[in-house]
C-alpha cells in the first residue's frame, strides 16, 4: 500500500475524494486540481489511483496523497478514518459507489450489503470524521454523489436507488443542521454518465448516451462553489426529476421500468 504523507499547509486547500481512480471520481480529482486544490485520493485500485494522482501533480502543480482502501471492507474503512484523523479538509467528496442490477429475489445479499457499506456506511463515517472540524472553523464543503434515482424507485436496481435516496435525504437534513456554521452540504444527482460504472453493475445499455464524467465533475464543482445544495446536471436529468416529483410514485416507478426496458438496461445478462 502506498501512502505518501505530505504535511498539509494551512495556506492551501485540500480535498478528500473517494472512488477517485475512475469515472466521476477521477474527473472530480482533475477538476479540483485544475482549480488549485491539493488532493487526498482513495479507491480500491492502487495503480489507477496512483496514475490519477501523478497526472494531476504533473499537469496542475499541486500536491497529492493516495491511500488505497476498499470501502466495502470495515477494516479498510477503519484504516482510512484513522489516517485522516486530526487532519483538516476544506472539501470532502463522497463519490465511491457501485450498482447491482436484477430482481431483488435473485440478487446476492452479500453484494448488496457491500454496496451499502461503500455508499452509506463509509459516507457516514467519513462525514462524521471531517465535519466537526469544518463546523469548528466555520468553513468547508461536503459534496456527495447521489443520482436522479434519489427521486424515483428503480425496479431491478431497488437497493441502489434506495441508497441514493438515503444520501439525498441525509444531505438535506445535514444542510439544515449546519446552516449557521458556514459549512455547505451539496449533493449531485447525475443520470446516465459515460463511465465504467454501468459495466460493473452488469447494465447493458443499448443506447450509448449520457453526460461525460468530465461534464458532471465540472458542473458539480461550479455549483458547489456557488453554494448550491441540490445539483442536477443536464436538461434531461432535470426533466426526469421534475417528472418524479409530480407523477405519483407508483406510476412513475412503472415509467422508470418502461424506460429502462426500452434502453435495454433491464436486459438479463
Q: Which residues are catalytic?
A: 160
Residue 204, CA distances (Å) to 125, 199, 261 in order: 33, 7, 11
Element (H, E) at 135: helix 122-137
In the three-class reduction of DSSP (H, G, I as helix; E, B as strand; rest coil), residue 42 is classed as: strand
Distance CA 251, CA 232 (A): 22
Distance CA 75, CA 71 (A): 9
Residue 10 CA to chain centroid, in angstroms?
26
Distance CA 143, CA 132 (A): 16
- Mark 112-141 as b/e (b = at least 16 C-beta within 10 Å): bebbbbbbbebbebbbebbbeebbeeeebb
Partnered with residue 161 across adjacent β-strands are none
Longest dimension (CA), the chain: 54
148 backbone φψ class: left, alpha, beta (φ>0; ψ -120 to 50)? alpha
CB 14 within 8 A of CB 90: yes
Entry field: residues in the chain = 269
Amino acid at each position: 500500500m502506498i501512502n505518501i504523507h505530505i504535511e498539509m499547509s494551512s495556506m492551501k486547500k485540500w480535498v478528500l475524494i473517494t472512488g477517485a481512480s475512475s469515472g466521476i471520481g477521477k474527473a472530480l480529482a482533475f477538476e479540483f486540481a485544475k482549480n488549485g486544490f491539493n488532493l487526498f485520493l482513495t479507491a480500491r485500485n492502487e495503480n489507477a489511483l496512483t496514475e490519477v494522482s501523478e497526472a494531476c501533480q504533473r499537469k496542475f502543480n499541486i500536491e497529492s496523497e493516495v491511500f488505497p482502501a476498499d470501502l466495502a471492507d470495515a477494516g479498510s474503512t477503519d484504516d482510512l478514518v484513522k489516517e485522516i484523523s486530526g487532519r483538516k479538509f476544506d472539501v470532502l467528496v463522497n463519490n465511491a459507489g457501485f450498482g447491482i442490477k436484477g430482481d431483488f429475489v435473485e440478487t446476492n445479499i452479500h453484494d448488496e450489503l457491500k454496496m451499502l457499506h461503500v455508499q452509506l456506511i463509509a459516507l457516514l463515517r467519513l462525514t462524521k470524521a471531517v465535519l466537526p472540524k469544518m463546523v469548528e472553523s466555520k468553513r468547508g464543503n461536503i459534496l456527495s454523489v447521489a443520482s436522479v434515482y434519489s427521486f424515483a424507485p428503480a425496479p431491478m436496481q431497488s437497493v441502489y436507488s434506495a441508497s441514493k435516496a438515503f444520501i439525498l435525504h441525509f444531505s438535506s437534513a445535514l444542510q439544515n443542521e449546519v446552516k449557521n456554521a458556514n459549512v455547505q452540504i451539496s449533493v449531485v444527482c447525475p443520470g446516465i454518465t459515460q463511465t465504467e460504472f454501468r459495466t460493473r453493475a452488469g447494465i447493458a445499455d443499448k443506447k450509448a448516451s449520457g453526460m461525460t464524467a468530465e461534464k458532471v465533475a465540472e458542473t458539480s464543482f461550479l455549483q458547489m462553489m456557488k453554494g448550491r445544495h441540490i445539483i442536477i446536471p443536464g436538461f434531461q436529468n432535470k426533466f426526469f426529476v421534475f417528472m418524479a416529483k409530480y407523477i405519483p410514485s407508483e406510476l412513475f416507478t412503472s415509467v422508470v421500468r418502461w424506460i429502462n426496458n426500452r434502453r435495454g438496461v433491464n436486459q438479463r445478462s
